[in-house]
A and B are shown apart, each in its own frame.
Chain A
Amino acid sequence: MTGSLLTVEQLSVSIATRRGSVAAVRDVSFAVEAGEVVGMVGESGSGKSVTALAVMGILPPAAQITNGRILFLGRELDPIRRRHGQREGLAIIFQNPRAALNPIRPVGRQIVDALRAHAPLSSQQAAAYATELLQRVRVGEPERRFWSYPFELSGGMCQRVMIAIALACRPRLLVADEPTTGLDVTTQKVILDLLAELTAAEGLATILITHDLALAGERCARLVVMQGGRTIECGHTADVLTRPREAYTRALLAATPRAPGKGPASADFATDSSDAHRSKLPLLEIRGLQRHFRLRQTGGLFAQTWARFRRTGAPRPVSVLRAVDDIDLTIGEGESVGLVGESGSGKSTLAGLVVRLIDPTAGRIVFRGNEIGTIPARKFTRSQFRHDIQMVFQDPSGSLDPRLTAFAAISEPIRLLGRLDRARPLAAVVGNLAEMVGLPATLLTRLPHQLSGGEKARVGIARAIALRPSLLVLDEPTAALDVRVQDVVLDLLARLRRDFSMTFLFISHDLAVVRQICDRVLVMRAGKIVDGGASEHLLTAPHHPYTRDLVAAIPRLPSEHRDESAGAAELFRGVFSG
């Protein structure tokens, strides 16, 4: 019993499911000192969140602590702390801040609720303190934001409000469970800077749970690496990252995409297609492309009717969102072009325009010398180019029909758009595709919910390449995947591109991933392309201030260890490619 702020000793948690109980956390021990930032890294299902919930005493009813104890400030905590005051000194912030906030209550009031639950304050005092807290988490115009509803705030703002609520309890220990997953890279940096600053200013200890090793490496003094409910490795960040003892840690490290910078230039994918593959013919040409969305008029039915009734001649101005605003773009045959930008920059709309799911407001889309932008999206199904332009979607779960088996999903485009070939029955073609993307043939009869995230991603890719399209648009194909699965999928995509000389338009918010797979990168912001150039050049020596901000915000691994771990990585990539 040392003076540690938090000590977790041999904690085991099991969760009851329909098929018996599953040990989610097994024999986990670690300690957190006052004022320290400890990173807890691991993939989904590694037990990091369950450990955090156990520390907070908010395990779901199906979960049960089967062994071990948790000491906080030298006191042993009850497994289920129902009594008031048992959670004093502990606070948690979650991954999806918007979901964690009450959608129908102004955010200021929610801070007040937290304040008054912990201290006997009058509502005026609490409101004043809540405004002060909003100021401390750097919310601009705190008096006005006090009355904002969560849907009026950006994701980053919502996370700041969550942090303010956490601070309202005057915690000694803050558990941050993937606090920036789903946020843009620049927002991520701001939020983590804010957390670091608050931690230092208030002497707060933080457990930072993340799947991003680079991020943990940058922000934490010590790391706890978890896998399959166990702590695999534990130690000072520099030691873990530069001299990992465990094979699993090395595999994780190897899979983490390299941020541009001091690290060795990746020679594997980027160079092979730059000029050699690029023919003179452009595959896709976009000229002056625009897509505007009319925003809904503010006010409800009555407000609108009243406005119309009182109209004095001039029509109400309709506000228009220029999601894609005058874009010119040329992609050569065989090229791999990356498109980066933050959420709301219009990159997904551009993807929809290119694959002809969305109709342009103005401008031309020319594919192989044919204008395809004028064909309405509804009719494009029957176009001769439908099979030639395909897409891999962002969310592998959402983009598969929940009622189609993997086989049906992969075979659908072949049945509808392909030419049926007597010599090669459908089953053989699909089997071949599954093999190409590394999907075991035994999984073809499964429904999407019976597949893992990585397997679903493979089904999505197999479906998209089933017709051998010449242009493949990839909309954040790995954003929902664990880092090791992401690495395997990126390898797969690079290989498929080489084998079928496909052209990629690769959309991502993750510059490190884009760098790995693209020859050329375009930076998009507010519907316009603001910067562009060869990947290596653009990401190592960015000129445009916005690109510079983006590049600066990427978390980096310490660069030395990369080479020595690379060999081991190759070795383990085979083992873990699931």
Chain B
Amino acid sequence: MTTVAPTTVKLRLPPGSGSLILLAIVAVAAAAGPRLAPYDPLATSVSAALQPPSASHWFGTDALGRDILSRVLTAARLDLAIAAAAVGLSFGIGTAAGITAGYAGGWSDRLIGHVTDMIMAFPLFVLAMGIVAAAGDTVANIVYATAIINIPTYVRVGRAEVLIRRDAPFVQSARLAGNGTFRLLLAHVFPNVLPPLVVQASLNMGYAILNAAGLSFIGLGVRPPTPEWGIMVADGASYIVSGEWWVWLFPGLALAGTVFVFNLAGDGLRDFLDPHRRH
């Protein structure tokens, strides 16, 4: 039953490649941001304060006359770095904890479960605020706070995925082939639970960026004058009423766009990583 009727041949990119291209653009902007910036993001100029977008200042200038385009581009690196570090940390810790809980069960499962339940009992943003407020507002502490509030997601996804596969025939068959517990988890269980976790990580990137920007927005995160999207939106907020829309709009758009791209990439990755779609 494999007669293939002649159909029009379409050029097909791998699924989800559109979002991955967008992701690459964001990554390039973050890497080369300071070099692309037309002005020094910290240079103030009272004469050029609060100018609307023009040919010389594409995104306009803020109250201190700093070029908003330069600041938006420069900020990309910091925001993405904070988010990536936080996601990396929570991915590593959360996945290891989740796989342990799911595979070992028993007391380790209960302990890990209770800790994640405790974290999730707090409103997460308030918890992050509390951690930064208590530990001091440094970039490292923002990373730790963002990582801690994201750990439960990976624990839960990892644990659930491992539970499905723990007694799967292929895991038992791997045991018979001579895999010890550690190798079994690393070589057979982990690669099979990775796709949902990677998708989760990509979706989480967007959330982590928002979280870092949110902390800065309320004055707990990165300190001015460092260019950072959250601070810039906070600066612009006071000009919404007076009509200087460009001050908050462009950093806000950069923030929203980046979050959107990461969410889109998460969906793209899901398709891309599914072995059944590879041919």
Instruction: Assess A23 versus B188: contact at CB under 8 Å? Given A395-B169, A416-B179.
Output: no
Q: Which of B3-11, B129-137, B140-148, B212-220 contacts A (4 or more CB under 8 A)?
A: B3-11
- Total B residues in contact with A, Cβ cutoff 8 Å: 28
Q: Is A140 in contact with chain B by the CB < 8 A criterion?
A: no
Is A393 touching B179 in the complex (CB atoms < 8 A)? no
The closest CB in chain B to the CB of A45 belongs to B1
Alpha-carbon separation in the docked complex, A463 to B170 (Å): 12
B158-178 vs A, CB cutoff 8 Å, 1 = contact: the mask equals 000000000011101111111
Alpha-carbon separation in the docked complex, A449 to B4 (Å): 20
The closest CB in chain A to the CB of B173 belongs to A399
Q: Is B54 in contact with chain A by the CB < 8 A criterion?
A: no
Is B5 touching A23 in the complex (CB atoms < 8 A)? yes
Alpha-carbon separation in the docked complex, A449 to B279 (Å): 10
Q: Which of A129-137, A256-264, A400-408 contacts B (4 or more CB under 8 A)?
A: A400-408
A449-472 vs B, CB cutoff 8 Å, 1 = contact: the mask equals 110000000001001100000000
Alpha-carbon separation in the docked complex, A395 to B173 (Å): 11
Alpha-carbon separation in the docked complex, A236 to B172 (Å): 47
Q: Is A386 in contact with chain B by the CB < 8 A criterion?
A: yes
Q: Which of A3-11, A14-22, A74-82, A291-299 contacts B (4 or more CB under 8 A)?
A: A14-22
Is B4 touching A20 in the complex (CB atoms < 8 A)? yes
Chief secondary structure at chain A's binding surface: mixed
Q: Is B123 in contact with chain A by the CB < 8 A criterion?
A: no
Is B170 touching A416 in the complex (CB atoms < 8 A)? no
Is A390 touching B192 in the complex (CB atoms < 8 A)? no
| Count of CB-CB pairs between chains A and B under 8 Å | 88
Nearest chain B CB to A17 CB, angstrom units? 9
Q: Is B275 in contact with chain A by the CB < 8 A criterion?
A: yes
Alpha-carbon separation in the docked complex, A413 to B168 (Å): 18
Is B178 touching A416 in the complex (CB atoms < 8 A)? yes
Is B177 touching A398 in the complex (CB atoms < 8 A)? no
- Determine which of B4, B169, B179 lies in contact with A394 in the assembled complex, contact meaning CB atoms within 8 Å: B169
Instruction: Assess A398 versus B168: contact at CB under 8 Å? Given A403-B192, A447-B275.
Output: yes
Nearest chain B CB to A339 CB, angstrom units? 18
Alpha-carbon separation in the docked complex, A395 to B167 (Å): 13
Is B5 touching A20 in the complex (CB atoms < 8 A)? yes
What residues of B have a CB within 8 angstroms of the CB of A352 in the complex?
Answer: 172
Which of B6, B174, B191 has the most C-beta atoms of chain A within 10 angstroms of its own C-beta?
A: B174
Is B170 touching A357 in the complex (CB atoms < 8 A)? no
Is A22 touching B170 in the complex (CB atoms < 8 A)? no
What residues of A have a CB within 8 angstroms of the CB of B279 in the complex?
Answer: 450
Instruction: Assess A400 versus B3: contact at CB under 8 Å? Given A412-B177, A413-B177.
Output: no
Is A401 touching B174 in the complex (CB atoms < 8 A)? yes
Instruction: Assess A387 versus B5: contact at CB under 8 Å? Given A399-B173, A402-B192.
Output: no
Instruction: Assess A449 versus B179: contact at CB under 8 Å? Given A402-B170, A412-B174.
Output: no
The closest CB in chain A to the CB of B276 belongs to A449
The closest CB in chain A to the CB of B9 belongs to A20
Q: Is A382 in contact with chain B by the CB < 8 A criterion?
A: yes
- Determine which of B170, B183, B276 lies in contact with A400 in the assembled complex, contact meaning CB atoms within 8 Å: B170
What residues of A have a CB within 8 angstroms of the CB of B47 in the complex?
Answer: none
Nearest chain A CB to B186 CB, angstrom units? 13
The closest CB in chain B to the CB of A229 belongs to B1
Is A14 touching B276 in the complex (CB atoms < 8 A)? no
Nearest chain B CB to A375 CB, angstrom units? 13
- Determine which of B169, B174, B181 lies in contact with A398 in the assembled complex, contact meaning CB atoms within 8 Å: B169
Is A381 touching B180 in the complex (CB atoms < 8 A)? yes
Q: What are 8 A-B contacts defined by CB distance under 8 Å?
A: A20-B5, A22-B3, A22-B4, A377-B175, A381-B178, A381-B179, A381-B180, A412-B179
- Give 7 closest A-B pairs by Cβ, nearest first: A416-B178, A399-B169, A417-B178, A413-B177, A20-B7, A398-B169, A20-B4
Given A21-B5, A394-B169, 13 other A-B residues pairs in contact with their CB atoms under 8 A:
A22-B4, A23-B1, A23-B5, A229-B1, A355-B176, A357-B175, A377-B175, A382-B180, A390-B176, A403-B191, A416-B177, A449-B275, A463-B173
